[in-house]
Amino acid sequence: APSTQPWRSPGEPQAPFSLPAPRWPVECEVIQETIEHIEWVPPKPEPFCPPMGPEQALYTIDEEQGTVVYHSSPGNGAWAAPLSASALPRSPTVPPVPTALQYSCFTHARVGGAPGPLSLPAAPLEGPQDTTLLFESRFESGNLQKAIKVGPYEYVLMLRPDLYTAKHTQWFYFRVQNMRQEPFYHFTIANMAKPKSLYGQGLQPLLYSQRDAQSRGIGWRWVGTDVRYCRGSAGEPPTFRLSWTVRFPHDNDTCFFAACYPYTYSDLQRYLRALVADPARSRYCTVQALCRSLAGNTVHLLTITSPGGTAGKRVVVASARVHPGESGGSWAMRGFLNFLLSTHADAHLLRRLFIFKVVPMLNPDGLVVGNSRCSLAGRDPNRAYGMALPSSFPGVWHLRAMVQRVLAEREVVLYCDFHGHSRKNNVFMYGCDAGGDGTGTRLCQRVFPLMLSKNAPDKFSFSSCKYQVQKSKEGTGRVSMWRLGVSHSYTLEVAFSGSTLGGRSSHFNVKDLESLGCLLCDTLLDFCDPAPAKLQQCLGEADALLQRQMGREPGSGGSWSDVSPSELES
Domain containing 442 equals 265-550
Run of H or E including 570: none
Distance CA 89, CA 159 (A): 22
Torsion angle of the four alpha carbons 382, 384, 386, 387, in this order, in degrees rounded to the nearest 10:
-170
Instruction: Using the CB atoms, write b or e for 411-445: b if 16+ within 10 Å.
Output: ebbbbbbbbbbbbbbbbbbbbbbbbeeebeebbbb
- In DSSP terms, 255 is beta-bridged to 176, 209
Angle among Cα 368, 202, 55 to the nearest 5 degrees reads 105
- In DSSP terms, 23 is beta-bridged to 111
Torsion angle of the four alpha carbons 159, 163, 168, 173, in this order, in degrees rounded to the nearest 10:
-40
Q: What is the pLDDT of residue 92?
A: 36
Q: In CATH, what number is assigned to the domain containing residue 172? A: 2.60.40.3120
Angle among Cα 295, 300, 301 to the nearest 5 degrees reads 145
Distance CA 492, CA 28 (A): 32
* Secondary structure (DSSP) of 419-485: EEESSS-SEEEEEEE-S-S-HHHHHHHHHHHHHHHHH-TTTB-GGG-EEE--GGGTTSHHHHHHHHT
Distance CA 28, CA 381 (A): 21
Q: In CATH, what number is assigned to the domain containing residue 515? A: 3.40.630.10
Torsion angle of the four alpha carbons 297, 480, 498, 263, in this order, in degrees rounded to the nearest 10:
-10
User: Is residue 490 assigned to a domain?
Assistant: yes
Distance CA 332, CA 431 (A): 18
Q: Are residues 252 and 272 in the same domain?
A: no
Distance CA 122, CA 67 (A): 11
Q: Where are the beta strands (DSSP E) in 19-66?
A: 23-25
Residue where a domain stops, chosen among 243, 258, 273: 258
Q: Are residues 181 and 297 in the same domain?
A: no
User: Is residue 360 assigned to a domain?
Assistant: yes
Q: Which of 227, 211, 185, 210 is nearest to 57 (CA)?
A: 227
Per-residue pLDDT of the chain (570 residues; tens, 9 = 90+): 444 344 445 655 555 567 789 999 999 999 999 999 999 999 999 999 998 865 554 444 555 679 999 999 876 543 333 222 333 333 333 333 333 344 589 999 999 999 989 998 888 899 999 999 999 999 999 999 999 999 999 999 999 999 999 999 999 999 999 999 999 999 999 999 999 999 999 999 999 999 999 999 999 999 999 999 999 877 778 899 999 999 999 999 999 999 999 999 999 999 999 999 999 999 999 999 999 999 999 999 999 999 988 899 999 999 999 999 999 999 999 999 999 999 999 999 999 999 999 999 999 999 999 999 999 999 999 999 987 688 899 999 999 999 999 999 999 999 999 999 999 999 999 999 877 666 778 889 999 999 999 999 999 999 999 999 988 899 999 999 999 999 999 999 999 999 999 999 999 999 999 999 999 999 999 999 999 999 999 999 998 888 887 777 766 666 666 677 777 776
Residue 376 neighbours by CB distance under 10 Å: 26
**Alpha-carbon distances of 296 from 53, 269, 292, 299, 377, rounded to whole Å:** 44, 14, 5, 9, 13
Q: Are residues 359 and 490 in the same domain?
A: yes
User: Is residue 242 assigned to a domain?
Assistant: yes
- In DSSP terms, 430 is beta-bridged to 466, 491
**Alpha-carbon distances of 287 from 141, 276, 302, 363, 401, rounded to whole Å:** 23, 7, 5, 17, 18
Q: Are residues 199 and 219 in the same domain?
A: yes
Q: What is the pLDDT of residue 83?
A: 28
Distance CA 361, CA 30 (A): 21
User: Is residue 82 assigned to a domain?
Assistant: no
Q: Which of 378, 396, 376, 392 is nearest to 113 (CA)?
A: 376
- Asked if 407 contacts 532 with a C-beta cutoff of 8 angstroms, the reply is no
Q: Are residues 169 and 184 in the same domain?
A: yes
Distance CA 414, CA 521 (A): 11
User: Is residue 78 assigned to a domain?
Assistant: no
Q: Are residues 285 and 418 in the same domain?
A: yes
Q: Are residues 204 and 283 in the same domain?
A: no
Q: What is the pLDDT of residue 8?
A: 46
The pairing of beta strand 225-231 with beta strand 240-246: antiparallel
Catalytic residue among 493, 553, 567, 569: 493
User: Is residue 21 assigned to a domain?
Assistant: no
Q: Are residues 308 and 248 in the same domain?
A: no
In this structure, what DSSP letter does residue 404 have?
H
Q: What is the pLDDT of residue 84?
A: 29
User: Is residue 57 assigned to a domain?
Assistant: no
Q: Are residues 371 and 467 in the same domain?
A: yes
Residue where a domain stops, chosen among 231, 258, 285: 258
| Residue 153, amino acid | Y
- Asked if 330 contacts 268 with a C-beta cutoff of 8 angstroms, the reply is yes
Q: What is the pLDDT of residue 462?
A: 96
Distance CA 395, CA 48 (A): 36
Q: Are residues 223 and 287 in the same domain?
A: no
- Counting the structural domains of the chain, the total is 2
Q: What is the pLDDT of residue 570?
A: 64
Query: 527: Cβ–Cβ under 8 A, 6 or more apart, which residues?
Result: 414, 447, 448, 451, 488, 534, 535
Q: Which of 74, 6, 73, 1 is nearest to 296 (CA)?
A: 1
No. of H helices and E strands in the chain? 11, 23
Residue where a domain stops, chosen among 205, 224, 258: 258
Q: Where are the beta strands (DSSP E) in 105-239?
A: 109-111, 134-136, 146-151, 154-158, 173-177, 185-192, 206-209, 221-222, 225-231
Q: What is the pLDDT of residue 82?
A: 29
Q: What is the pLDDT of residue 94?
A: 37
Q: Which of 255, 95, 222, 110 is nearest to 505 (CA)?
A: 222
Give 35: exposed, middle or buried? Use CB within 10 Å, 0-12, 13-18, 19+: middle
User: Is residue 558 assigned to a domain?
Assistant: no
Q: Are residues 271 and 253 in the same domain?
A: no
Q: Are residues 177 and 304 in the same domain?
A: no
Per the annotation, the verdict on 326 as an active-site residue is: no
- Report residue 273 CA to chain centroid gap: 22
Torsion angle of the four alpha carbons 389, 390, 393, 396, in this order, in degrees rounded to the nearest 10:
100
